[in-house]
Amino acid sequence: MRIPRVLTTALLALGLAFTVPAPASAAGENSGKTAGENYVALGDSYSSGTGAGDYSDVLCTRSRNAYPALWARSGAPASFTFAACGGATIPDVLNNQVQHLRADTTLVSISIGGNDSGFASIMLSCVLSTQTACERRLDEAAEYVRTELPGELDALYATIRARAPRAEVVVVGYPHLYKEGGFCLGMGAGKRTAVNDGADLLNEVIADRAAAAGFAFADARPAFAGHEICTSDPWISGSNIHPTAEGHEKGYLPAFEAAAS
C-alpha cells in the first residue's frame, strides 16, 4: 500500500519483476529446505518494500531491505523472483505478477488487499480531514472488505494455486499503523483507533480466505506491536505510512519465517 505518486500509472503498467538465481557457492553452503526453494514474492508495497530504501527497481519500489529480499539473501533458495510492486491491487497481481508462478514454484508470499480497499484515500482523509470524515471513509472501506473482497481474494488464491500447485503459500497481513492512546502529532487518538480497527477487519478477512484456500497467514500485528507510528521505536514511517528497513528485518521477516516454517 502507498499514497499514489506520479509514477503510479507507469509502474502498474510495467509490472516489472526480476529473477535472481542463488549463487552456486551460497546454495552449496546452505542445506535443508531453503536451498531447494523456488520462491516467488507477489503483492503490493508492503511486500515490495516501499519506504525501506535501497531500491533495485525504483518504479515498483522493490527494496533490497524488503522481507522477501532479506529471506532470499539469507536462505539462498534455488531461485527468487521478486514480483511485488508498490501500488498493486488484486487485478494488478492477476495481470502482471502471477505469470511468474510455475509448476516448480515451491514457495509464494503475498500481501494484497490494502489498495483494493482504498488505503491511499483513507489515509488522506484521516490525516487531513476531520474525525467524522475519517470514520466515514473507513466505513465505506469496511463495506467493501466485508462484501466484495472475500470473493476477489478467493479468485486470486485459486489462480495462485492453479499456477503453482505444489507451492507453500504464505499470505502476509498488515500491521497496526499507529500507537493507540496518548499524544501523536497530526493524528488524534480517535482516528488512530479507527485506522487500527480497519486494519483488524482487513486482516480478519484476509486470514479467513487464506485459511479457506489452504494457505498460511503471517500476522504482522504481533511482530510490530510496540513499534507503530508515534511509539518511541517506530518501525513504520510516519511520512509514508510504510514499514522501514528495520520494520522489514525485525517485524515482517520473522513473521514470514514463522508462517513458512
Alpha-carbon distances of 184 from 73, 181, 221, 231, 239, rounded to whole Å = 36, 8, 19, 9, 13
**Is there a catalytic annotation at residue 176?**
no
Q: Which of 31, 242, 248, 261 is catalytic?
A: 242
Q: Which of 45, 48, 117, 125 is catalytic?
A: 45
Distance (Å, whole) CA 82 – CA 110: 11
Q: What is the maximum span of the chain, computed from C-alpha positions, in angstroms? A: 58
Distance (Å, whole) CA 84 – CA 138: 25
3 state SS of 217: strand
3-class SS string, 57-85: ECCCCEECCCHHHHHHHHHCCCEEEECCC
Q: Are 256 and 218 in contact (CB under 8 A)?
A: yes
Q: Are 12 and 92 in contact (CB under 8 A)?
A: yes
Q: Are 216 and 170 in contact (CB under 8 A)?
A: yes
Positive or negative, the CA dihedral 118, 123, 124, 126 is positive
**Is there a catalytic annotation at residue 45?**
yes
Please identify every residue annotated as catalytic: 45, 242
